Homo-oligomer: A and B are copies of this chain.
Amino acid sequence: MPTINTNPRWWGWGVLAPAHGLDDCPDLWPALQKWLRIPQSSTNHQCPPAPLHDVHLCSSHLDAPLASSLRSILGDEAVRTDDPTRLAHSYGKSYGDLVRMRAGYVPNPPDAVVYPSDPSQIASVLTWASERGIAVIPFGGGTSLTGGVECTRSDRPVITLNMARLSQVLFVDTESMTARIQAGATGPEIESCLNSEGFTLGHFPQSFELSTLGGWIATRSVGRCAILYGGIDRLTQAIKVVTPTGLVETGAVHFTEPGPSLLHLLIGSEGSYGVIVEALMRIHRLPNARDYRIVRFSNWQDGVAACREIVLSNHLRPATLHLADPLEARILALTVPERCTRKGLLPGVLGRRPSLISSQGLSSEDVLLIAGFEGEPDWLKQQWSITLAICSGHGGAVSLKGADRFWECQLYRQPYLRDEMIARGIMVDTVTASSSWSDVCELYESVRGALSGAIATTGSGTGYLMTHLSNVHRHGTTLVTTYLATQTPDPSPLARQAQCETIRQAARDAILARGGLLAHNRLTEGNGLLGQTGHNRRFCARLHRSIKQTFDPVGILNPSLPDPL
């Protein structure tokens, strides 16, 4: 009997994270059962996927004349109103999305999904929709964690604009190290094309396998090598955006861009000002070697201090610095898949189970720093020699060498593990905060305090909180805290979503109270134009409205973004 499938592999690629889940980490599940007080016997799926035939979608509001006029713009094949297609475009991939989807609770499917083949078709669709007041949701990989692809239903029809047919790397300028790329290209599509010419974009968010260039730009994405290559905002040199008012192109920004930045107004605009169709991206030479190692420190403060010193060194250019606190370090050690040590399935990595990062080898305060450099072999040696000197000054020593491929897989498999955990009744979500160095240790404590307090109030015990630093830079870092707890016994998907939201809100309040900044949140929760708090809030909301009004006078684009006024 076919059921809803929320495993990421169902969504698309799945090539980078070989099929290893909880079964490949035999020590992980028993440990989680113990930490979260899940009865030993409970291996039942507590959040099972609904049978597909139980899923009821409301019928499409797109009546025959509307569908027909849309087909005359795009062609018959490019306009789909069948239920499986509508279902696949109903949700992003947040915890709330997944529990609702697993339950077969799908209140907001789009009325149609369209697949334009070029920017002029998109312009025609936006004109068509503006004339009729029909909502349009741009859709890349569908991996939004912030509700970006879901539109609360109202009377007016909703069209999802799937960008999959605009997926070409159009031109590579090897002299200027830039590439013109269509917005619907996914991470693997972009990298396989650039790699074949000896280049890389260098943007590797956790959603890399599925997410698209347009989605990265629309959400101001940051990837795992951003400290070397830059976040998507720095990688983007210019963009082309189709708005309901017409095509808008930013000049190809080089070093300076006099005047207020049009580019930075469009980056992060989450499809609410226009549809990003193409971008001129800064590319880099594909590094010919990588050297990733895991360094162990005996406590969090030492690890933090070492990270700061590494990133402040003018002599070092790391690609990755990821510091896992004691609780994340323990999980990390437990998720080294046994078969990768037995069969060497992860190329170029571990020949044996790395005892030093196994959970047995870690003391309760130990933290692990995953640090990676990419470039020429000689330079890598020199970089590591400086890095090790800094680390040993803080009591750190290398636990594992050659960890690059292990680390890459580790990141990409987390969504798969998350899906299995959700199936087994665990709530798992992440809250992300930017902090300056002078605040990071206190912010760490206050986020943890707020989360455990809030988890307790939802009746799920103490939960399990683990934090890492990523996007480490000269002036601060990002604190990423993942919280696990047993799902509320109420099997209703809305109750499960509400449990997670309550906890998340507590963390958010704690972050803002300390002057930290939410990252990885939707438009209205960041610290950009729409994420302002206090006395700025109403003013910035008015500013957004007047900008939105100029781009999209009828208000058809992503209308479910909350109006902050």
Query: Contact string, A236-272, partner B, CB cutoff 8 A, digits 1/0?
Result: 0100000001111111111111111111111111100
Interchain CA distance A210-B83 in the complex, whole Å: 67
Chain B residue numbers with a CB within 8 Å of A550 are 539, 542-543, 546
Distance (Å) between the CB of A184 and the closest chain B CB?
22
Tell me if B256 and A434 are in contact (CB < 8 A).
yes
User: What are the residues of chain B within 8 A of A478 when measuring CB–CB?
Assistant: 254-256
- Residues of chain B within 8 A of A253, CB atoms compared: 434, 517, 527
How many chain copies does the complex carry?
Answer: 2
- Interface-facing stretch out of A354-362, A364-372, A528-536: A528-536
**16 more CB-based (< 8 A) A-B contacts, given A246-B535, A254-B473:** A176-B476, A245-B539, A249-B536, A252-B527, A253-B434, A253-B517, A255-B519, A256-B519, A256-B520, A258-B522, A260-B266, A260-B529, A261-B264, A261-B268, A262-B528, A282-B475
Q: Are B177 and A475 in contact (CB under 8 A)?
A: yes
A322 to chain B, nearest CB (A): 14
Q: Give chain A's interface residues, CB within 8 Å of chain B.
A: 173, 175-178, 219-220, 222, 226, 231, 233, 237, 245-270, 273, 282, 284-285, 312, 314-315, 317, 375-376, 379, 434-439, 471, 473-478, 515, 517-533, 535-536, 539-540, 542-544, 546-547, 549-551
The 4 A-B residue pairs with the shortest CB-CB distance, nearest first, are A258-B526, A259-B528, A251-B527, A264-B264
Contact A267 B256 (CB under 8 A): no
Contact partners of A436 in chain B: CB under 8 A: 173, 175-176, 178, 252, 254
- Is A314's CB under 8 angstroms from B317's CB? yes
With both beta carbons as reference points, the residue of chain B lying nearest to A247 in the complex is identified as B535
> Once the chains bind, are B536 and A259 in contact (CB under 8 Å)?
no
Find chain B residues with CB under 8 A from A543 CB.
262, 547, 550-551
Q: Give the residue of B220, B264, B475, B539 whose beta carbon is less than 8 angstroms from that of A256.
A: B220
CB-defined contacts of A549 to chain B, threshold 8 Å: 546
Q: Which residues of B contact A264 (CB under 8 A)?
A: 260-261, 263-265
A517 / chain B contacts, CB cutoff of 8 Å:
251-254, 257
Taken together as a complex, chains A and B put the C-alpha atoms of A522 and B255 apart, in Å, by 16
Taking a contact as CB atoms under 8 Å apart, the answer to whether A519 and B258 are in contact is yes
Q: Would B259 and A438 count as touching, CB distance under 8 A?
A: no
Q: Are B515's CB and A252's CB within 8 A?
A: yes
Q: Are B267 and A526 in contact (CB under 8 A)?
A: no
Indicate whether A260 sits within 8 Å of B177 (C-beta atoms), given known contacts A252-B515, A254-B435: no
Q: A176-B438, A260-B266, A436-B178 are in contact. Are A250 and B527 (CB under 8 A)?
A: yes
